[in-house]
Structure 1
């Protein structure tokens, strides 16, 4: 089985940024299928455009734009690329980076998909920072990565405690169609949960109100749609469930840290 070294990914890598123990690559996936392989370093895969299927020894992930995976070092997997353009953003974390910060790499075992929209927002900010690439980029990326790992570990710690089945079901319901206009009574009925119970316990498991969480999911969907330069901001706003473009802009800036036009320029800028 082939091992890929630092900065090596199958396809056409259009940009590689080497920081202190961190390597960032922007790669177009050009191969229809990549056989079983593993990487020297732990790394994130963030799909910016298109689709890819990735399988490991435990699961198979269907990854459209906006999907985020974490792979630990030496974890074998394979890739299949459906027809069409696919672009991936990778962040490799070398062992010395973990060691220098006295972080325990073994706390994040195996490969897994990350669904938390707050983590994805941090990855979009890292992508944007990699395109700025000035003397402050290394420090900024490291800070954002530490925030990312902290959120992941907090999330994993929460998963280890007993979580009611309705939490996972609700996440799937809301993520399946963020643009849909739900009501509390409708969701309570689908979950077979009293509205008072749902209202009381939602923030305990989601760390925000239901309205805030749905807005995050809508912004997350908007990030993925911005890769299509044929869609206007108004088109994207309505596709994601926002009342109008101004509402979309406010929410995007709140959770994404910039306005969508600025992010789209970084996304579509030639490498």
Structure 2
């Protein structure tokens, strides 16, 4: 079994930065065959920047298209394979000592998981932006964002273990994640068989934000990987992500990231 030490990944490294037990790197995946079975010395997050990848461990095989965010723990045996001509990814690796230093419970990061919650995607997208920006304040911003990501994962885990979550909530998440229809309360009620008022009142309890905010977050989550593809116009991206028009997309994006989509795209495609 191959063990990948700190900073070791399959593919061609484009950019790497390291500080305070955190290592960030961007890779192009050039091989057409699956990697060897292996595990990593340190835990890491993996964000698929473009292309289609598949992460395979002993329990499951997970398709990871552009925009997917995976967490893999240090003891997780797995291999990866590319399922498109071009693919690239961003890794954020951290030493276990970093978790202890920041008083983060190691158990919240067990196993391997595909992270779906939009809030964590936004935090990670902001972190990636700081990685590319690399100015005087980027290091401290990255550390703070990583702490927030771990806290958000902990909150989601605590919520799922302490609450008896109704089945319709998981169906609601699937609709918001994958359904491109007009996601108004009437439509969601018809699909779920749950009264609109109950959906509205209960959603914030199980989603950590109100339903409208969760839907907006999900739309932005869809938009981020599309911004990496320069063949898509901002108008097309707005439509594909489910916004009414580009103006609405610009306003919502700017309110979350404090930067307009056009400027953000230039940073993402810098390398």
Please indicate, yes or no, whether the TM-score normalized by the shorter chain is above 0.5. Answer: yes
Which deviates further from its counterpart, 125-134 or 114-123? 125-134
CA contact (8 A) 2:45 2:71 kept: yes
CA contact (8 A) 1:125 1:257 kept: no
CA contact (8 A) 1:13 1:26 kept: yes
CA contact (8 A) 2:50 2:89 kept: yes
The corresponding residue for 1:131 is: 132
The corresponding residue for 1:211 is: 212
The corresponding residue for 1:2 is: 2
Cα distance in 2, alignment partners of residues 208 and 18 from structure 1: 33
The corresponding residue for 2:233 is: 232
Cα offset, 1:224, TM superposition: 1.1
Cα distance in 1, alignment partners of residues 105 and 208 from structure 2: 25
CA displacement 1:26-58 (0-9 Å, x = unmatched): 011112211210100010001111110011122
Cα distance in 2, alignment partners of residues 222 and 20 from structure 1: 31
CA displacement 1:198-227 (0-9 Å, x = unmatched): 122111112333222211111111101111
The corresponding residue for 2:20 is: 20
CA contact (8 A) 1:69 1:112 kept: yes
TM-score (norm 2): 0.95
CA contact (8 A) 2:104 2:150 kept: no
CA contact (8 A) 2:53 2:84 kept: no
Cα distance in 2, alignment partners of residues 66 and 49 from structure 1: 7
CA contact (8 A) 1:219 1:256 kept: no
Which deviates further from its counterpart, 127-136 or 81-90? 127-136
CA displacement 1:133-184 (0-9 Å, x = unmatched): 233222110000000000000001111131110110110011113x421332
The corresponding residue for 1:195 is: 196
CA contact (8 A) 2:108 2:157 kept: no
CA contact (8 A) 1:219 1:255 kept: no
Cα offset, 1:269, TM superposition: 0.8
* Residue aligned with 1:169, SS: helix
The corresponding residue for 1:160 is: 161
Cα distance in 1, alignment partners of residues 188 and 130 from structure 2: 38
Root-mean-square deviation over aligned CA pairs: 1.3
Cα offset, 1:64, TM superposition: 0.6
Cα distance in 2, alignment partners of residues 126 and 35 from structure 1: 29
**Alpha-carbon distance change, 102 to 241 in structure 1, aligned in 2, over 3 angstroms:** closer
Cα offset, 1:123, TM superposition: 0.7
The corresponding residue for 1:93 is: 94
Which deviates further from its counterpart, 19-28 or 135-144? 135-144
| 1:255 and 2:231 correspond | no
* Residue aligned with 1:157, SS: helix
CA displacement 1:65-110 (0-9 Å, x = unmatched): 1100111112111111013111110000102212222333233211
Gaps of 5+ in 1: none
Aligned residue pair count: 269
The corresponding residue for 1:11 is: 11
Cα distance in 1, alignment partners of residues 55 and 222 from structure 2: 21
